[in-house]
């Protein structure tokens, strides 16, 4: 739905995906695509019994497994709901259009049951002591029939270690948001709804191929006013072909009327393989112009700052105390579990951090194995991820934490990069506290990352790596 989960990219409702590190990050991590250096593991075969028998260590032969030796782990949890009524024109998140499928309730039930089995495996293998944040994204979670959703939430919440997650978010799409859905979520202890509006402009919504029209968006906001007492995050999109800065400002102003604690503001990015991308290639739709996008972003950015929102990450704005803690776990590269088809996890193993990817096929996922691949992250890759994610945030990289994880002095290691970019991109180049970029530096992050990656490659870093910190 939206852009913010361990799989997501640009989307509707608002997901958070750990894999779009170089762009609208939201849809990044938890559903990330495979990476080039993937390590074929035996997880696929050992987890192939549909979850009925306990799988052994996914990364090594059973003889090497010492679960009792593993320290209890604190890790955030992302659950992917891979169903949408139909696909939006710009979306390349993994979800299956289910509008016309008569067998959908049966498939949904099978997928949710498989997700519970996958979670059981993770709980057993990683001995979870705490799940500080939980995020249910998609896809479109509010498409799940209410009785099934209620049962699923009950199954998940009864498996959570105490205390309950401090932040528990679910994504919603305006056209399918219902009173029942909100009551079930509140009763299950959810604390936060993330609603994918994108725009109120009918032409923009049509270009995006959204199912919701302006009236659906307004109805959903009224419904939330009436029936939801928890936190609210709204997704907006800018740089839509044909969108003027006036229209983007009008979208933001209307969203602000509801007083959301959090706003995610994403640039439309045409993704290869989507209908929008094909239309742009065919010349049927103009490509979003980068300078135009940046102009519009600047206008909306200023409005949000004037209204008291803090731009605490490239695409994220929050009132004081309303930052998204779940997304912060990705940006700080804390351990997280991604449950569901195409969802990605980054978790510690005895050999170092591993990235596990859920299989991108509903049928295969429900029959098992749940995972398509595991990748042992090299110290070099982990260092690169850590920097590329940390620099997205206004808080930047904590130098002390960095030294504890990588046993490196940040300023010494990257002195050439910092010196080269000191005038326009580096905000704090002191030798204590955090290393942060200026607003402009974060706008040109991809360019700066090339400098950092060059320095990392020259370093030939092989560890030692201490992660997660105790």
For ligand SF4, the binding residues (CB under 6 A) are 1, 11-13, 84, 87-88, 91, 93, 95, 138-140, 173, 196
Distance, in Å, from the CA atom of 457 to the CA atom of 388, rounded to the nearest integer, reads 14
* CB closer to ligand SF4, 176 vs 434: 176
Closer CB to ligand SF4, 37 or 99, in the complex: 99
Cβ neighbours of 291 (radius 10 Å) = 7
- Measured between alpha carbons, how far is 30 from 12 in angstroms, rounded to an integer? 16
The least CB distance from residue 467 to ligand SF4, in Å, is: 31
Cβ proximity to ligand SF4, 56 vs 243, nearer residue: 243
When the beta carbons of 85 and 397 are compared against ligand SF4, the nearer one is 85
Element (H, E) at 405: helix 399-406
CA distances from 438 to 312, 355, 367, 444 (A): 12, 31, 48, 10
Cα–Cα distance, 170 to 30 (Å, whole number): 14
DSSP secondary structure, 383-442, as one string: HHHHHHHHTTBTT-EEHHHHHHHH---HHHHTHHHHHHTTTTTEEE-SSSSEEEE-HHHH
CB-wise, 9 or 442, nearer to ligand SF4?
9
Return d(Cα 455, Cα 439) in angstroms, integer. 22
Please say which residue, 12 or 335, places its beta carbon nearer to ligand SF4.
12
- Rounded to whole angstroms, the Cα distance separating 103 from 82 reads 15
Q: Among residues 2 and 262, whose Cβ is nearest to ligand SF4? A: 2
Pick the closer one to ligand SF4 by CB: 2 or 117.
2
CA distances from 78 to 40, 87, 156, 190, 201 (A): 23, 21, 12, 14, 31
Which run of H or of E encompasses 352?
strand 352-358
For residues 93 and 336, which CB has a smaller minimum distance to ligand SF4 in the complex?
A: 93
Least gap, CB of 39 to ligand SF4 (angstroms): 29
CB of 178 to ligand SF4, least distance (A): 16
> What 8-state DSSP symbol labels residue 39?
B
Cβ-based nearer residue to ligand SF4, 140 or 345: 140
Smallest distance from ligand SF4 to CB 269, Å = 12
The smaller minimum CB distance to ligand SF4, of residues 62 and 97, is found at 97
Distance of closest approach, residue 130 Cβ to ligand SF4, in angstroms: 29
Beta bridge partners of 266: 237
Residue 291 CB, nearest distance to ligand SF4 (Å)? 26
The DSSP secondary-structure symbol of 252 reads H
> Three-state SS for 228?
coil
Strand partners, 4: none
Check if the beta carbon of residue 209 is closer than 8 Å to that of residue 87: yes
CA 348/CA 352 separation, integer angstroms? 6
Query: To the nearest whole angstrom, how small is the minimum distance from the Cβ of residue 406 to ligand SF4?
Result: 35
Q: What count of other Cβ atoms lies within 10 Å of the Cβ of residue 145?
A: 13
What letters, b where the CB count within 10 A reaches 16 and e where it falls short, cover 9-43?
bbbbbbbbbbbbbebbbbbbbbbbeeeeeeeebbb
Give 139 or 288: the residue with its C-beta nearer to ligand SF4: 139
CB of 172 to ligand SF4, least distance (A): 10
- In whole angstroms, give the CA distance from residue 9 to residue 196: 13
Tally of CB atoms within 10 A around 148 = 13
Minimal distance, residue 193 CB to ligand SF4, in Å: 15
| Least CB distance to ligand SF4 at residue 19 (A) | 14
- Tokens for 446? 């991809």
Scan for tokens 């219902």, then name that residue. 178
CB of 216 to ligand SF4, least distance (A): 12
- At 158, list the tokens: 């009864």
User: Residue 186 Cβ, how far from ligand SF4 at the closest point, in Å?
Assistant: 22
């Amino acid at each position: 739905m939206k852009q913010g989960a361990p799989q997501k990219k640009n989307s509707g409702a608002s997901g958070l995906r750990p894999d779009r590190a170089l762009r609208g990050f939201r849809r990044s991590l938890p559903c990330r695509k495979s990476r080039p250096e993937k390590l074929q593991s035996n997880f696929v075969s050992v987890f192939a019994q549909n979850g009925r028998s306990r799988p052994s260590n996914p990364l090594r032969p059973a003889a090497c497994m010492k679960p009792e030796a593993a320290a209890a782990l604190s890790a955030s949890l992302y659950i992917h709901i891979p169903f949408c009524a139909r696909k939006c024109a710009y979306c390349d998140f993994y979800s299956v259009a289910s509008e016309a499928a008569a067998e959908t309730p049966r498939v949904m039930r099978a997928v949710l049951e498989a997700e519970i089995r996958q979670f059981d495996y993770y709980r057993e293998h990683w001995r979870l002591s705490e799940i500080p944040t939980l995020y249910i994204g998609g896809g479109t979670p509010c498409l799940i029939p209410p009785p099934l959703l209620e049962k699923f939430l009950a199954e998940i919440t009864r498996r959570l270690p105490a205390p309950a997650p401090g932040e528990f978010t679910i994504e919603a799409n305006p056209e399918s948001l219902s009173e029942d859905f909100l009551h079930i979520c509140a009763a299950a202890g959810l604390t936060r709804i993330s609603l994918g509006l994108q725009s109120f402009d009918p032409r923009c919504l049509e270009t995006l191929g959204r199912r919701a029209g302006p009236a659906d968006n307004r109805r959903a906001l009224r419904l939330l006013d009436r029936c939801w007492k928890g936190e609210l995050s709204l997704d907006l999109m800018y740089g839509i072909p044909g969108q003027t800065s006036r229209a983007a400002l009008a979208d933001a102003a209307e969203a602000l009327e509801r007083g959301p604690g959090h706003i995610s503001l994403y640039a439309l990015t045409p993704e290869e393989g989507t209908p929008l991308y094909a239309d742009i290639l065919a010349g049927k739709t103009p490509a979003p112009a980068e300078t135009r996008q940046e102009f519009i972003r600047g206008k909306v950015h200023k409005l949000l700052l004037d209204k008291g929102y803090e731009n605490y990450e490239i695409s994220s704005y929050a009132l004081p105390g309303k930052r998204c803690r779940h997304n912060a776990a990705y940006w700080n590269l804390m351990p997280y579990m991604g449950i569901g088809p195409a969802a990605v996890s980054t978790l510690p193993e005895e050999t170092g951090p591993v990235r596990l990817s859920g299989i991108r096929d509903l049928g295969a996922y429900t029959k098992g194995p749940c995972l398509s691949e595991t990748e042992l992250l090299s110290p070099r890759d982990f260092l690169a991820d850590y920097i590329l994610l940390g620099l997205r945030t206004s808080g930047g990289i904590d130098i002390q934490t960095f030294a504890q994880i990588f046993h490196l002095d940040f300023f010494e290691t990257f002195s050439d990069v910092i010196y080269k970019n000191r005038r326009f991109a580096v905000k704090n180049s002191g030798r204590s506290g955090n290393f942060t970029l200026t607003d402009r530096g974060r706008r040109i992050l991809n360019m700066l990352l090339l400098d950092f990656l060059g320095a990392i490659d020259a370093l030939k870093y092989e560890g030692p790596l201490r992660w997660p910190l105790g």
